[in-house]
Amino acid sequence: MGAENDMAVEVFDLATGELRELNQRLHDLNEDAAKTPWRIVHPRGAHAVAAGVDSPVKIDIEGHVGYYCAGMNQHAQITVHGMVGVGVAENMMSGIVRVKGHASQSAGATAHGGLLVIEGDAASRCGISMKGIDIVVGGSVGHMSCFMAQAGHLLVCGDADEALGDSLYEAQIYVRGQVKGLGADCVEKEMRDEHLDTLAGLLEKAEMGKVKPSEFRRYGSARQLYNFQVDNTSRY
C-alpha cells in the first residue's frame, strides 16, 4: 500500500454531524493538522461544504453537494465525487478543486487563482467574471460562459453554447468542440506555440493529458468594448 493509504484519515459524517461544525474544524486546521487528509461522507446535497478552507489539506467529498462548495478556497485540494450545485469554487484564490461529475451554473465565478477541474459538463456562466483562475472542463459548457471574464484560462474539451465570452476582458478561452455563438467583443484568435504550451501544461495538471492541444481553437477579446470609441456609442 502507498503512503497515502497508510496515513490516518479524518472522516466527518454529515448525516450525523453539523455542517457548521465541519467548516469550523476545517477553518481551525493548523499546519500540522492539515497534513491529515479528510473524507466527508453523506453530504446529501448540503450547501457550502468545505467553504472558506485556507490550509493545504486534502479533502474528498463522497457524494453530491449543493451551492458554493469549496467557495473562497485557498491552498486546499478538494475533490467532489459527485455533482455540484451553483457556484462551486466561487471566489477561489488558490489550490485545486476537482468535480468528478457535472457542475451547475457559475462554476468558478469571480475566482482569482487556483485550478478548477470539472470532469463532466458545466452549466451556464461557467467562469463568469473570473479574475485569474484556470478552469478545465472535460465536457461542454452552457451559455454566457466567461461573461465579463477578466483574467485566467477556460479550457473546454467539449462544446460551448451561445454568447461565449460576452463582454470579455483579457481571459483566454480554448474550445475543442463546436461553439454555438460568440458573445459581444469575443473573437477567434490565432493559436501560436505559446498557447499550445499553455494548453499542454493545463491539461497535464488537470490529468487530461491524453487530449491534444492542437485540437483546440482560441478565443479572446477584440478589445473594442472596454476602450471607449465614439463610433461604438450605440453598443455601450
Give domain status of residue 11, yes or no.
no
Give domain status of residue 145, yes or no.
yes
Give domain status of residue 5, yes or no.
no
Encode pLDDT of 176-197 as tens digits.
Answer: 999 999 999 999 999 999 999 9
Contacts of 127 (CB under 8 A, 6+ apart): 107, 108, 109, 133, 135, 145, 146, 149, 152, 154, 171
Q: Work out whether strand 77-80 and strand 58-62 pair parallel, antiparallel, or are unpaired.
A: parallel
Q: In the prediction, which pLDDT does 180 show?
A: 98
Q: In the prediction, which pLDDT does 7 show?
A: 65
Q: In the prediction, which pLDDT does 225 show?
A: 80
Give domain status of residue 175, yes or no.
yes
- Once rounded to an integer, what is the mean pLDDT over residues 30-47? 97
| H-state helical runs in 55-128 | none
Q: Which three cell numbers stand for residue 127?
A: 467562469
Q: Work out whether strand 172-175 and strand 217-221 pair parallel, antiparallel, or are unpaired.
A: antiparallel
Helix, strand or coil, per DSSP, at residue 187: strand
Model confidence band, residue 133 (pLDDT cutoffs 50, 70, 90): very high
Does residue 132 register a pLDDT over 50?
Answer: yes
Q: Determine the Cα–Cα distance for residues 203 and 115; give it in Å rounded to an integer.
A: 11
Answering whether pTM is above 0.85, one says yes
Q: In the prediction, which pLDDT does 2 show?
A: 36
| H-state helical runs in the chain | 3-6, 19-27, 193-205
Give domain status of residue 236, yes or no.
no
Q: In the prediction, which pLDDT does 234 show?
A: 63
Encode pLDDT of 64-93 as tens digits.
Answer: 999 999 999 999 999 999 999 999 999 999
Give domain status of residue 9, yes or no.
no
Q: Determine the Cα–Cα distance for residues 164 and 145; give it in Å rounded to an integer.
A: 5
Phi, psi for 197 (deg, rounded to 5): -65, -40
DSSP 182: B
**Residue 225: how many CB atoms within 10 A of its CB?**
18
Model confidence band, residue 4 (pLDDT cutoffs 50, 70, 90): very low
Total domains in the fold of the chain = 1
Helix, strand or coil, per DSSP, at residue 191: coil
**Average pLDDT for the chain:** 94
Structural domain boundaries enclosing 120: 45-55+65-208+217-226
Q: In the prediction, which pLDDT does 230 show?
A: 60
Q: In the prediction, which pLDDT does 3 show?
A: 38
| H-state helical runs in 54-163 | none
The answer to whether 217 and 196 are in contact (CB under 8 A) is no
Model confidence band, residue 39 (pLDDT cutoffs 50, 70, 90): very high
DSSP 231: G
Q: In the prediction, which pLDDT does 130 show?
A: 98
Q: Determine the Cα–Cα distance for residues 61 and 98; give it in Å rounded to an integer.
A: 10
Give domain status of residue 23, yes or no.
no
Give domain status of residue 143, yes or no.
yes
Q: In the prediction, which pLDDT does 197 show?
A: 97
Q: In the prediction, which pLDDT does 6 show?
A: 45
- Once rounded to an integer, what is the mean pLDDT over residues 20-49? 97
The residues with which 98 forms a beta bridge, in sequence order, are 79, 117
Does residue 227 register a pLDDT over 80?
Answer: no
